[in-house]
Amino acid sequence: MGFHGTGKERRSLDFFRQNTTPQLSGFLDGDFWERLLLQAALHNPSIRHAILALGSLHARFQQDNGLMMQIQTNGWTDDFASKNYSQAIKLLVEPLSQDGQQAIDVWLICSILFACLETMQCSYGSAITHIQSGMKILCEVKYNEETRRHEHDVLGASESPYVSIERVQEMFVHLDHQVTQERQIPAIFSSLSKTRESLVSQWHVASYSTNNRWDPTNEKLPVVPQVGLWQKKSISILARWSSAYDAYLDIRGDNLTHQKRKGAAALRILKELGSTAMTLARTKVDDQMDWDVFCSMFRKIVSLAEDIIKLDLNPTARTPTNCVNMALVRPLFEVSCRCRDPIIRRRAISLLQKSRREEGVWHAFPTSKVAQRVLDIEEAGLQNVRSYEDVPGWARISNVSPIFYPNEQRVTLTYSWLGMGHDLTSQTIEKVVEW
């Protein structure tokens, strides 16, 4: 292949080419794995390090006859693979931190490789996260007729992409199908990481059939029986998950480290947010007044977030400045947009202002600016807002979607507003938030 690395790197690459690619191309496109990907690895270091990690991990898995996942359930089982995985992530995001742009195809290819790595580690929740992240980017990519290139607001357009967008789309469809097999929830979880993997994986499976049947381009809403079936399945999953999680906390709760206590609080936040989505099935026209019944739940989420931030500020704790998991910033933003109780809402925004967390593209400080603007929009012209009842339906906005620009002090905010009319037709509004 023309690759001149260390002996270990060459062995990992050879194993990937000779053993890993034939197995992966058995259910996916062989041309992608056996030709295009290897060509890309020669020129792009992020892709190359991800392939080295995958080849090494697969070799270790085969060497141990597939038993290593049962022997070591926490952390990585292969130090070489772990280091290369970390290096791949670092090189992938590095251009974004230097006022540059990473190429669309490189980002999507790495998302596929990262998903495969996590799957081989039995980290199905993390694998799903990578797949969903890639599919979200694909939805945001637009084709420019003038330049004849695919473009994205944050990622760059390649003059000569390693793999076409159309081919990458096919890959993500295949991968998404692979992670929709339901897995059994144990009576008790063995670790917090397994608890999170189960929650993400099971939630994705429960939502899959619903996502398949709901056509976002069709204004007609799904019939109630389908939604009822999804609700019933989701309630069952959440109940079984909560039981296994409570059993884990009963045994391990008193001995959790600062880091694991933060993880436990974050899982509770995810569970509470999942409960709202499960309860508010889309069976009617969007009504923002429906969120009012969840005030106590929103209050609980904010309290859990406060616990995490207190632990972050503990002198003996490691304060994360950048992490992948959506533990705090996005949930607090959801609360600030959906909860119209003025006290709870402002507590959520205040926590975002205090936190230094960066969770993916969700940086706490810019997010707090967007949350404050949403509050200002809804409360503009209202007098003496003392409870959610003082924010009428016509003042509320929905479908709030921020687009963040790395290293720029601005965010594009898009939202829908029904206004004071009676035709139930919402208008889409776009604003720029600067600071």
**How does the average pLDDT of the chain come out, rounded?**
78
Domain boundary among 178, 212, 245: 178
- Per DSSP, the three-state class of 268 is helix
Lowest mean pLDDT among 13-22, 62-71, 235-244, 400-409: 62-71
pLDDT recorded at residue 219: 39
* 12 within domain boundaries: yes
Q: What is the pTM of this model?
A: 0.56
Domain boundary among 162, 178, 194: 178
Number of structural domains in the chain: 2
* 213 within domain boundaries: no
pLDDT recorded at residue 212: 41
pLDDT recorded at residue 351: 95
> Could you write out the DSSP letters of every residue in 337-388?
HH---HHHHHHHHHHHHH---EETTEEHHHHHHHHHHHHHHHHTT-----SG
* 222 within domain boundaries: no
| Same domain as 263, residue 170 | no
What six digits make up the tokens of 435?
């600071």
State the helix-helix crossing angle for 342-354 and 364-379, rounded to 10 degrees. 160
| Same domain as 427, residue 290 | yes
pLDDT recorded at residue 284: 47
Counts of helices then strands in the chain (DSSP H, E) = 17, 7
pLDDT recorded at residue 240: 84
Domain boundary among 178, 202, 224: 178
pLDDT recorded at residue 252: 82
Find the radius of gyration of the CA atoms of the chain.
23
Lowest mean pLDDT among 58-72, 95-109, 125-139: 58-72
- What's 320's DSSP letter? -
pLDDT recorded at residue 229: 58
Which residues span the domain enclosing 95?
A: 7-178
* 188 within domain boundaries: no
pLDDT recorded at residue 278: 66
Q: Confidence class of residue 308 from pLDDT cuts 50, 70 and 90?
A: confident
- What's 389's DSSP letter? G
| Same domain as 296, residue 170 | no
What six digits make up the tokens of 434?
């600067």
Answer for the pair 54, 19: CB distance below 8 angstroms, yes or no. Answer: no
Check pLDDT > 90 for residue 405.
no
Nearest to 235 by CA among 279, 188, 291: 279
- What's 156's DSSP letter? B
What six digits make up the tokens of 96?
């974004």
Nearest to 331 by CA among 276, 258, 412: 276
The tens digit of pLDDT for each residue in 182-206 reads 567 778 887 776 776 677 666 555 5
Q: How far apart are CA 149 and CA 164, in angstroms?
A: 10
Answer for the pair 187, 212: CB distance below 8 angstroms, yes or no. Answer: no
* 228 within domain boundaries: no
Q: Which residues contact 409 (CB under 8 A, 6 or more apart)?
A: 434, 435
pLDDT recorded at residue 217: 37
